[in-house]
């Protein structure tokens, strides 16, 4: 451990190919998606959430999931993960060659009905056949909890709800759970306190964080999670993304901003910041916008400006 109790190294999972692209209304050509994934792989990022095997009518942008997987299968230096909403999605993912899948679950019934057309309990019960299928094919299964810190329909999510869901995941044999601040309602104090409780209740469970920057608190929330010993974070290049079923949702914390913060604190990510900023610029050019990236606006702290010429101290 380094100073102030922060970890020396973290793992960043790039989620732009799934979370970032899913909310784009204009079709992104499959070839362009593959090119972006390849460029991301060149930055040093070692974990990428490649797509979601969801019904094309629900998320039209991701209807080419199998093609994207096929177009990137030669990238052996990256571990690819896919989000699956149900058994059919898991079957498609495994058939396509995905080795890591993430289950989709909301913390509240209101968001679950909007996002998955089922109640939380129904979703949990549907996970058993998915996990059995994954075990049969030696595929790793991770859990997730959307709107973990606040629901746009029900407000604050009590910690007891999260404890109950994580306990169910534990019973199913899931060893890692992603806590998602889907609509950016979390604050650092809440993140620190919730993680303290969850890590105490489930010492053998690994937690990863998925923060959106809807209200500008994503990096602060990352720092709170770091202080609780969390070392796994999702982020999206250029800060793009957002849940189509969460009102007012914006993109994830920008990967380049997250890498920059870690670099400045001396925490190793294994990612080349300059290359990631380059990919962010490419994504912005491709989409015609970014999601609020500080690096695209101001650049890293190391990028100094030339001193103004002809500076004269004014006499008072």
Which residue out of 13, 118, 243, 301 is catalytically annotated? 243
Q: Pairing between strand 140-145 and 176-181?
A: parallel
DSSP assignment of 96-138, as one string? HT--EEEE--BSSHHHHHHHHSS-HHHHHHTHHHHHHHHHHTT
| Backbone phi and psi for residue 198, each to the nearest 5 degrees, phi listed first | -65, -40
Contact 183, 243 (CB under 8 A): yes
The alpha-helical segments, DSSP class H, found in the chain are: 30-41, 65-72, 87-96, 109-116, 120-125, 127-136, 159-172, 188-201, 218-227, 255-264, 273-287, 294-298
Q: What is the rounded CA–CA span in Å between residue 107 and residue 162?
A: 7
* Residue whose C-alpha is closest to residue 157's, from 115, 89, 196, 107: 107
* Residue whose C-alpha is closest to residue 248's, from 202, 182, 175: 182
Upper half-sphere CA count for residue 294 (Cβ side, 13 Å): 18
Q: What is the rounded CA–CA span in Å between residue 85 and residue 62?
A: 13
Q: Catalytic site residue 243?
A: yes
CA distances (Å), origin 298, targets 145, 256, 303, 305 = 33, 12, 9, 11
* Active centre residues (catalytic): 243
């Amino acid at each position: 451990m380094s100073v102030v109790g922060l970890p020396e190294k973290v793992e960043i999972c790039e989620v732009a190919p799934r979370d970032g692209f899913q909310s784009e209304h204009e079709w992104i050509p499959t070839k362009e998606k593959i090119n972006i994934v390849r460029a991301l792989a060149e930055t040093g990022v070692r974990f990428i959430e490649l797509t979601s095997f969801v019904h094309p009518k629900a998320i039209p942008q991701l209807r080419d999931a199998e093609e994207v997987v096929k177009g990137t299968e030669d990238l052996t230096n990256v571990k690819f993960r896919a989000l699956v909403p149900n058994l059919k999605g898991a079957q498609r993912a495994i058939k396509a060659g995905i080795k890591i899948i993430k289950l989709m679950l909301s913390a509240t019934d209101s968001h679950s009905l909007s996002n998955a057309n089922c109640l939380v309990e129904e979703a949990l019960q549907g996970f058993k056949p998915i996990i059995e299928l994954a075990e049969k094919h030696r595929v790793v299964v991770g859990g997730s909890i959307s709107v973990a810190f606040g629901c746009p329909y029900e407000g604050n999510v009590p910690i007891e709800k999260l404890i109950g869901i994580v306990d169910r995941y534990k019973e199913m044999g899931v060893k890692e759970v992603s806590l998602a601040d889907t609509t950016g309602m979390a604050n650092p104090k809440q993140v620190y306190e919730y993680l303290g409780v969850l890590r105490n209740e489930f010492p053998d469970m690994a937690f990863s964080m998925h923060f959106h920057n809807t209200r500008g608190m994503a990096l602060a929330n990352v720092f709170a999670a770091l202080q609780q010993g969390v070392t796994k974070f999702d982020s999206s290049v250029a800060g793009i993304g957002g849940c189509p079923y969460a009102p007012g949702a914006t993109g994830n914390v920008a990967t380049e901003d997250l890498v920059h913060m870690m670099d400045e604190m001396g925490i190793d990510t294994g990612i080349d910041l300059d290359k990631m900023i380059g990919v962010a610029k490419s994504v912005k050019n491709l989409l015609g916008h970014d999601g609020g990236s500080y690096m695209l606006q101001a650049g890293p702290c190391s990028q100094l400006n030339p001193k103004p010429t002809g500076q004269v101290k004014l006499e008072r």
